[in-house]
Amino acid sequence: MPKDDVDILLVEDSPEDAELTLHSLRRNNLANRIHWARDGEEGLDFLFCRGPHSSRSFRHPPKVVLLDLKLPKVDGLEILRQMKEDPRTRPIPVVVLTSSREEADVVRGYRNGANSYVQKPVDFDQFREAVRQLGLYWMVTNEPPPDTTYSRG
């Protein structure tokens, strides 16, 4: 497995949220290979293997993307749109992290694009439980798409 292989891409601007998420993932032994993108632009660079991430290959996409909606520069829905428009990134599962039920409503409107969504609760225990289940589901249960899907990159 090459060293730039990443299991989870976390796109999150808030360091606190990122740290709490990483902490939760770590506690569930899921944080081995996580890349944290701090804004939308970096998230896109990572996904589309450009800029600082031009050395990456579409052949090794993350197994899941945890995507915050409210992001500086490029927001989460735009990232989702671009991912789903491009056949190279379309198969990557996306879990949207919403900070309110209102945002959850918005995501429901993009249901075709997002594979799942999780509302970040104020109660950290609940959040951690949600992240644990998500991580397990996407990392363990869910079979990632076969490599051939990415061959065009």
122 forms part of the interface with another protein (CB under 8 A):
yes
3-state helix/strand/coil string of 10-31: EECCCHHHHHHHHHHHHHCCCC
Per CB under 8 A, the list member of 29, 54, 100, 151 interacting with another protein is 100
Largest CA distance in the chain: 43
> Position of tokens 């076969």?
146
Alpha carbon 147 to chain centroid distance? 19
Nearer to another protein, 49 or 131 (CB): 131
Per CB under 8 A, the list member of 127, 135, 138, 150 interacting with another protein is 127
101 forms part of the interface with another protein (CB under 8 A):
yes
Name the residues that contact another protein, by CB under 8 A: 14, 16-17, 20, 23, 70, 99-102, 105, 120-125, 127-128
